[in-house]
């Protein structure tokens, strides 16, 4: 076998490739050569024979004259222009399609695993969530498959684009109904950009940049310009003060990065891309602190692709390793997001289990507190009615003495909103805290029930004369003289404001938890709207248990945890309600996986950037 060796230029002439391609093959180890200096290689005859065996018979004829090849002769410029340019077929991955595909899969998984807990998108029916999730995952997978396989604008690609546009448009419409302008613009821009790319034939890089500029300049402004009560502690500490200027900063940063996509690569443009990605990471964290996981995942994918776009410009895509870098990096991003969503679901389930156990204990304690408060008030009224001085004052008709007596009863007892001493005909002898004797009498129903029972009577929907408040619980006890004859009654209204304050101390501060007490007739004594009468809750508590925790949906479509416990003595229902979203926000545990996913994405982009340094061709060997 001949031991003759050839230069890079000679091998390029033999095989019919350019010298740049030969250098690329040497770097990828597809051609074996010996380095004889900086940028100089010698390829043995055996390697030429191996490569020519794979060529056509016409190419094999070049082997017989390989040894007669002389050094390259200077070529005129006019002849160089007529030479055909031999370049391999390049299938460049579409950055915008990968962004829309990965974001669709992430949002679809979030709708399946996370948003189903909160029913945050429920406007018409909860059945829409699985449909939207399935549509987004299937459409995103179709677009990714079309790009990986290189099939281009196939039927799968068209179906994926139509599915993503339809799903994002519907989600944007839902957020428009819910008056969430930031989320409406977020999903609306994705649908509009994807539709415009197909109809106007915009390049993938320009479509991606326009989408990033729109989301980065509009969404933070709408998100951080809300009322302070709607912002999380994270945004109040880091972004609430400068919310009005956020959109100006983001728009300037992303506008400067436009030159990075259309012109020369520079350090300023690369820095702008990283700053824009950092600000989008911040927006994603803000959404996560508000437990809006579909929006958080969508913005997180946009920030990751914005970081990856700096590597995208340095890839020539002539080497197989270039596409391997892209597909491996984006695959790891998709896997990281999917794992992040799964971990978030596990953490949220753990938070909700803990919240359910705590609610169950809280509602039992609240029921005992309500029962003890009513028992104590009843005992105080019975003690006042059994005082002999009360019967003497009613018999003598002394209004001044009766007024002083009820004032002393009011000052020495708790849970009393108003106390009254009345005669047997129902007219008031003394009422406190009203100083003067008021005109009027107690209701006939209350009077008859009290006089007939000769014991403490609880009336759920009653009020004493002169009461300016809404009807409440009244406990009345007959007054007996020495001969055991009824000479009057003592009645007292229960102070639910004081009881409501004590029940509010049981809730976790800032969690949105609240305790309600509802009568058998459906009247809320303690709640957000105590004056509204609604049907009482009908809950089947399992046998052997004193309480039960259910996951329900409120009037606004948000998920809530409700613990029920019924008082067997008074037939009142005590409920402890906790919004699921606020429970997750208070724990802040579910935001940790998202921060880990952000850190992993940044580290992955940095590693790939280091491994994929700009490849400079060595000087050509002309020896």
Q: What secondary structure, in 3-state letters, does 326-340 show?
A: HHHHHHHHHHHHHHH
Whole-number Å distance between alpha carbons of 568 and 270: 70
Q: Give 47's Cβ-side CA count (13 Å radius).
A: 23
Domain boundary residue among 82, 107, 135? 82
Cβ contact 27:37 at 8 Å: no
Whole-number Å distance between alpha carbons of 262 and 168: 29
Domain boundary residue among 258, 291, 309? 309
pLDDT, residue 182, reads 82
Whole-number Å distance between alpha carbons of 499 and 352: 27
- Global pTM? 0.62
Cβ contact 358:545 at 8 Å: no
Quick one: residue 557, left, alpha or beta (phi over 0 = left, psi -120 to 50 = alpha)?
Answer: left
Per-residue tokens: 185 = 């613009």
Ranges of H-type helices in 243-292: 243-256, 258-262, 267-289
Per-residue tokens: 554 = 């409120």
pLDDT, residue 528, reads 63
- Same domain as 106, residue 66: no
User: For the range 221-228, what are the long-range contacts, defined as Cβ-Cβ under 8 Å and sequence gap of 24 or more?
Assistant: 221/246, 221/247, 222/181, 222/182, 222/185, 223/182, 223/283, 223/286, 223/287, 224/286
Closest CA to 2 of 30, 40, 58, 43: 43
- Same domain as 99, residue 64: no
- Same domain as 107, residue 31: no
Q: Which residues of the chain have pLDDT under 70?
A: 1-3, 37-39, 53-92, 114-127, 150-153, 224-272, 310-323, 434-441, 466-470, 528-545, 555-558, 586-591, 608-623
Number of domains in the chain: 3
Cβ contact 524:496 at 8 Å: no
pLDDT, residue 609, reads 65
Residue 612 falls within a domain, yes or no?
A: no
- Same domain as 296, residue 193: yes
Closest CA to 574 of 541, 551, 531, 543: 541
- Same domain as 287, residue 160: yes
Edge-to-edge, what's the strand order for the sheet holding 524-526? 524-526, 514-518, 573-579, 559-566, 548-553
Domain that holds residue 190: 95-309
DSSP result, 429-459 = EEEESSSSPPS-B--HHHHHHHHHH-S-EEE
- Same domain as 32, residue 166: no
Cβ contact 580:558 at 8 Å: yes
Positions of E strands within 180-241: none
Cβ contact 379:371 at 8 Å: no
Determine the 3-state secondary structure of 592 from DSSP: helix
Determine the 3-state secondary structure of 518 from DSSP: strand
- Same domain as 305, residue 180: yes
pLDDT, residue 81, reads 44
- Same domain as 238, residue 136: yes
Cβ contact 243:225 at 8 Å: yes
Ranges of H-type helices in 53-123: 57-60, 77-82, 95-113, 115-118
Peptide bond into 457 cis (omega under 30): no
Whole-number Å distance between alpha carbons of 402 and 105: 77
Residue 132 falls within a domain, yes or no?
A: yes
Residue 348 falls within a domain, yes or no?
A: no
Residue 317: exposure state from Cβ atoms within 10 A (0-12, 13-18, ≥19): middle
- Same domain as 67, residue 108: no
The CATH number for 407's domain is 3.30.450.20
- Same domain as 56, residue 100: no
Cβ contact 317:323 at 8 Å: yes
User: For the range 434-439, what are the long-range contacts, defined as Cβ-Cβ under 8 Å and sequence gap of 24 or more?
Assistant: 434/466, 435/403, 437/399, 437/403, 438/465, 438/466, 439/465
Whole-number Å distance between alpha carbons of 347 and 568: 36
Per-residue tokens: 293 = 């996981």
- Same domain as 68, residue 104: no
- Same domain as 219, residue 166: yes
Element of type H or E holding 525? strand 524-526
pLDDT, residue 603, reads 77
């Amino acid at each position: 076998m001949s031991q003759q060796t050839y230069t890079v230029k000679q091998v390029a002439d033999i095989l019919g490739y350019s010298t740049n391609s030969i250098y690329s093959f040497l770097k990828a180890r597809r051609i074996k050569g010996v380095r004889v200096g900086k940028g100089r290689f010698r390829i043995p005859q055996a390697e030429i024979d191996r490569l020519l065996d794979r060529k056509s018979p016409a190419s094999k004829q070049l082997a017989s004259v390989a040894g007669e090849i002389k050094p390259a002769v200077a070529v005129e410029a006019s002849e160089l222009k007529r030479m055909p340019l031999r370049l391999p077929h390049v299938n460049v991955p579409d950055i915008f399609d990968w962004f829309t595909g990965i974001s669709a899969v992430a949002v679809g998984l979030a709708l399946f695993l996370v948003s189903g807990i909160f029913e945050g998108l429920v406007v018409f029916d909860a059945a829409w969530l699985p449909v939207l999730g399935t549509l987004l995952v299937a459409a995103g997978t179709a677009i990714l498959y079309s790009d990986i396989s290189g099939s281009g604008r196939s039927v799968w690609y068209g179906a994926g684009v139509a599915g993503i546009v339809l799903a994002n448009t519907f989600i944007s419409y839902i957020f428009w109904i819910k008056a969430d302008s930031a989320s409406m613009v977020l999903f609306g821009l994705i649908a509009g950009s994807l539709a415009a790319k197909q109809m106007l034939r915009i390049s993938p890089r320009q479509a991606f940049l326009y989408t990033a500029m729109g989301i980065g300049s509009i969404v933070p402004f709408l998100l951080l310009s809300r009322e302070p009560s709607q912002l999380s502690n994270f945004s109040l500490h880091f972004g609430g003060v400068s919310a009005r200027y956020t959109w100006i900063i983001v728009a300037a940063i992303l506008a400067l990065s436009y030159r990075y996509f259309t012109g020369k690569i520079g350090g300023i443009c690369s820095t702008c891309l990283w700053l824009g990605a950092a600000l989008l990471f911040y927006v994603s964290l803000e959404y996560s602190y508000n437990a809006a996981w579909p929006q958080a995942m969508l913005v997180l994918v946009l920030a990751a692709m914005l970081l990856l776009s700096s590597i995208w410009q340095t890839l020539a895509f002539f080497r197989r390793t270039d596409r391997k870098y892209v597909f491996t990096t984006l695959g790891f991003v998709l896997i990281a997001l999917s794992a992040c969503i799964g971990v978030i679901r596990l953490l949220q389930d753990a938070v909700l289990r803990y919240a359910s156990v705590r609610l169950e204990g809280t509602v039992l304690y609240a029921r005992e507190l309500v029962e003890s408060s009513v028992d104590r008030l009843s005992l105080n009224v019975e003690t006042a009615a059994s005082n002999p001085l009360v019967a003497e004052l009613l018999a003598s008709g002394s209004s001044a003495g009766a007024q002083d007596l009820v004032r002393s009863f009011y000052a020495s007892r708790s849970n009393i909103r108003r106390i009254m001493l009345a005669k047997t005909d129902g007219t008031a002898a003394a009422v406190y805290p009203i100083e003067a004797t008021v005109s009027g009498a107690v209701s006939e129903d209350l009077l008859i029930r009290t006089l007939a029972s000769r014991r403490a009577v609880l009336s759920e929907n009653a009020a004493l004369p002169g009461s300016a408040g809404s009807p409440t619980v009244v406990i009345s006890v007959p007054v007996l003289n020495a001969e055991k004859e009824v000479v009057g009654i003592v009645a007292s209204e229960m102070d639910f404001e004081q009881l409501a304050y004590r029940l509010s101390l049981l809730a976790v501060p800032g969690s949105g938890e609240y305790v309600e007490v509802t009568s058998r007739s459906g009247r809320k004594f303690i709640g957000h709207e105590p004056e509204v009468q609604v049907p009482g809750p009908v809950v089947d508590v399992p046998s052997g248990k004193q309480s039960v925790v259910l996951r329900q949906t409120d009037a606004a479509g948000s998920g809530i945890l409700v613990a029920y416990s019924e008082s067997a003595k008074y037939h009142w229902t005590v409920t402890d309600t906790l919004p699921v979203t606020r429970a997750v926000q208070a724990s802040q545990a579910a935001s940790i996986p998202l921060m880990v996913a952000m850190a992993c994405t940044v580290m992955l982009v940095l590693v790939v950037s280091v491994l994929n340094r700009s490849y400079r061709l060595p000087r050509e060997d002309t020896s």
